[in-house]
Structure 1
Amino acid sequence: MRRFDLELLNTLSTVAETGSLSAAALRLSRSQSAVSEQIRKLEESCGLTLFLRGKKGATLTPAGERLLGHTRKLLLLNDVAYQDMQGVSLSGDLRLAITDYFRPADLAKILRRLRDQYPALRLHVSVRKSALIEQSAGLGDFDIGLSMRRIGEASFNAEAEGEESFDSIPIRREQLLWVAAPTFDMQGTGALPVIALPDTCSMQRYMLAKLQESNLRYFIAHSASGVGGLQSALSAGLGVSCLNASAVPPDVSAFRGVMGLPRMPDVEFNLIAPRLGRDTLAAEAIALLVEQLR
């Protein structure tokens, strides 16, 4: 009986998660041709087509979906076995504070994977504004945070006088994009209908400030309470907004229907680990979270 190569299965899982060979190549630190060859070998081993390639990326076939289900279990079992041999066995309560801009479609799956890998680890997750995560670092109400910051933006930390009270570990860098649904129509209003979050969100304040600087006419067509609501309003074609790449819904795309939209900087996600009072559990969890969240 043939045995699957775990490296090939890991490539299958990564292509399925990222949606394209090129995106998977970046995550795996391989060339696109190397990723394509690994998928070819896996398909040859199975005698089945696992992905359909097209202009919009790679999508799993029914056979690919079935294999992905087995793949996730095999990779998880491999990780558990390896960590057991390394003596890694996290247990206890870990409090995470996370921005809802971070990979909204994948975050629940990532947390579920952590729970499955470490059944003795109790996760307590709260969704907060990035500014609040950084400002409250070190105050004791969470162990590790995950915040988003524009490239070149100063820290949100209110206490920082040349030195931050936390370690900031870069996890992921993404584009910040103007987006709208393909069905969105300006309807001859002359002003740009904008979907926004409350002004307590620093990213939304920045977006509106950039529009004002560009002297573009706009109005708030829809105000959402969180990223999930903003995504729903975008999908419904209610207006235009600005989102980081991993938070853009699959039925929404880059918007180029208005000339003069301001160019937006990239954003970076950082793990926020308070320096004061970091316990052993948090210190051990940081390395694992870096690997999982990247």
Structure 2
Amino acid sequence: MSRFDLDLLNTLTVVAEAGTLAAAAERLHRSQSAVSEQLQKLESFCGQQLFTRSKRGTRLTPAGERLLGHARQLLDLNDQVLHDMRGTGLSGDLRLLITDYFRPNAIAPLLKRLAERYPGLRLHVTVRKSALIEAEPADFDIGLYMQILHDHAQPLLAGVEPVRDERLHWVIAEHLAAERPATLPLVVLPATCSLQGLALNILERARRPYLVAHSASGVAGLQSALSAGLGVACLNESSIPPGTVPVPASWQLPALPAVQFRAKVNAHSGAFARDVLGVLKAHLT
């Protein structure tokens, strides 16, 4: 009897989560053509179309949705067996601090899957600003924060590991992207947010007129305001909500730097936290 290739199933799950072949290729450390070829092999094996492809990305077909559920179960079982054979099953309490800019649309289902995969691992998750996580408070074991990669970006320190790089974009509701306003209406977060401070500084240096059209208290509120067409905001790639798009180049907005998500382990948390970080990184990239 024919058997599924776990590598192909893993590619399916990454493409489904990333939304585009380009983003999936980056996470898988493969070329975009190699990822596309893997999907074609899987579709040929199943005898079903699993994705529809367009300029805006990829979307699962009903058959792809069914296979995705099975794929996650098979991959989870594979990991459980491997950890059992190696004696590296994870169990215990772990305090995780995480910035709300990190894959906000995917983090809740991701944590749910981790809980299902490692039932003995009890995650206590708190969302906090990147600057507070980077400052290393005492109440955490693993912290995941965002670092802006400008010229004076903080270098990697001992105990800090890169997780993923993302581009920053000026973002607007899709139905408003065609017309460039003379004064840029901004959707912003509080002044204590370093990313929003960066965006304002860049606009001021470029002498681009703007006004604050809406103030949100968190990333979720910012995304809602963008989707409602209340203005433009600066967001990292994985935070761009449905119904919005990067601002067209014809608007001639100033360029934005990239960001890097970094993970750090509390120096007092011991080997268990470092072991968990190794497992988490495989799911967070």
TM-score, reference length from structure 2: 0.93
Alignment of 1:75 onto 2:75: yes
2:202 is matched with which residue? 210
The code of the aligned residue for 1:107 comes to I
Q: Deviations over 1:196-216 (max 9, x none)?
A: 001111111111111111112
Structure 2: gaps of 5 or more residues: none
Taking the aligned partners of 1:93 and 1:270, their CA distance within structure 2 comes to 21
Q: Which runs of 4+ in 1 moved over 6 A?
A: 185-189
1:193 is matched with which residue? 185
Alignment of 1:96 onto 2:96: yes
Alignment of 1:237-252 (within 5 A): 237-252=229-244
Taking the aligned partners of 1:213 and 1:36, their CA distance within structure 2 comes to 41
Which of 47-56 and 214-223 deviates more? 47-56
CA deviation after TM superposition for structure 1 residue 85, in Å? 1.0
* Identity %, equivalent residues: 53
| Structure 2 CA distance for partners of 1:257 and 1:29, relative to 1, 3 Å | closer
Secondary structure of residue in 1 paired with 2:22: helix
Secondary structure of residue in 2 paired with 1:175: strand
Paired residues of 2:145 and 2:261 also in contact (CA < 8 A): yes
Paired residues of 2:102 and 2:239 also in contact (CA < 8 A): yes
Taking the aligned partners of 1:130 and 1:38, their CA distance within structure 2 comes to 36
1:146 is matched with which residue? 144
Paired residues of 2:180 and 2:251 also in contact (CA < 8 A): no
2:246 is matched with which residue? 254
Alignment of 1:21-60 (within 5 A): 21-60=21-60
Paired residues of 1:216 and 1:260 also in contact (CA < 8 A): no
Taking the aligned partners of 1:258 and 1:272, their CA distance within structure 2 comes to 39
Taking the aligned partners of 1:146 and 1:79, their CA distance within structure 2 comes to 23
Paired residues of 2:169 and 2:236 also in contact (CA < 8 A): yes
1:175 is matched with which residue? 167
Taking the aligned partners of 1:264 and 1:202, their CA distance within structure 2 comes to 13
Paired residues of 2:101 and 2:219 also in contact (CA < 8 A): yes
Structure 1: gaps of 5 or more residues: 156-161
The code of the aligned residue for 2:4 comes to F
CA deviation after TM superposition for structure 1 residue 250, in Å? 2.4
Taking the aligned partners of 2:238 and 2:177, their CA distance within structure 1 comes to 24
* Pick aligned residue for 1:279 from 245, 248, 270: 270
Taking the aligned partners of 1:224 and 1:74, their CA distance within structure 2 comes to 41
1:158 is matched with which residue? none
